[in-house]
Amino acid sequence: MRILAENHVHLLDPSELMRPEPTFADKNPSKFRDYSVDTTDPLKERVRQTYRQMHLNQTVDFVKGRREHWLKFNTIKMTVREALEKLNDLVDESDPDLDLPNIIHAFQAAERARAEFPEHDWLHLTALIHDLGKIMAFYGEPQWAVVGDTFAVGCRWGDSIVYRDESFEGNPDGDNPAYNTELGIYQPNCGVDNLLMSWGHDEYMYSVLKHNKTKLPHVACNIIRFHSFYPWHNGGDYKHLEAPQDAETKKWVLIFNRYDLYTKSEVVPDIEVLWPYYQTLIDKYLPGVLEF
């Protein structure tokens, strides 16, 4: 049993658990997790229940309400470094045997991006800050509205969404003819930028970046916004809503997800040595105190 400080927040991120998609088949097969129902497996059952609550409650009206609440950006003011350090009080129970602070995963991901693309400093910073939206968990947002795979609301749910066949039962959007068709509220090939996404840390951090007038390129913001949109970038859903420019976003999201999912290890980067480099990137692209 883990003994945790009282101010720690338990957070299980299903999107950071072992993925079954063939895109990530370089991972040790013994580490893959399927999404079958096994009520005797506590971790599988918790993941299933997280998605059940998400798929039951994430409606068009719910998403609009959360956007209205969070996009006032009046929750807290802090620097990027302060936000990263705050995430150390967030316990990601998807790695029960590793138990590394979130900031270490952030630096692991950033350093792998830096090794593969040394010329793209914007990608290094993107990897470092991609999970900062999870601070919503400290301010009353339920887990199913913070973590997990995302999907578009306002149209028929994608076929590849995990637990798709059963977990949306009772979601009123499924009975609403304005929202339950292939197009729903959208136009063909409108582009993923124009989708109303289920609410979570991805959408929130994307909005935080735009609100604070980041100098990161738009593709970096889109990596953060869509990195959990697995039904699109891995499942092949929503192609009828894609615009030509979405191919570039998808390319970079898939590159980034290699760093996000498979950099967690017991090799701990020397954060104090690395901070000066990443602070220069913060100062370049996202300086000062941010409004969250």
Which residues fall in the annotated binding site for substrate? 33, 92-94, 134, 148-149, 227-228
Asked if 180 and 172 count as a contact pair (C-beta separation under 8 A), the reply is no
* Residue whose C-alpha is closest to residue 80's, from 184, 178, 176, 208: 208
**DSSP-assigned letter for residue 192:** G
* Residue whose C-alpha is closest to residue 157's, from 144, 148, 166: 166
Distance CA 49, CA 242 (A): 30
Asked if 260 and 109 count as a contact pair (C-beta separation under 8 A), the reply is yes
- Please give the backbone phi and psi of residue 151, each rounded to the nearest 5 degrees, phi first: -155, 165
Which residues fall in the annotated binding site for Fe cation? 105, 130-131, 201, 227, 260
Beta bridge partners of 11: 92
At 11 the three-state DSSP class reads strand
Distance CA 243, CA 226 (A): 15
* Residue whose C-alpha is closest to residue 23's, from 230, 247, 265: 230
Which residues fall in the annotated binding site? 33, 92-94, 105, 130-131, 134, 148-149, 201, 227-228, 260
At 245 the three-state DSSP class reads coil
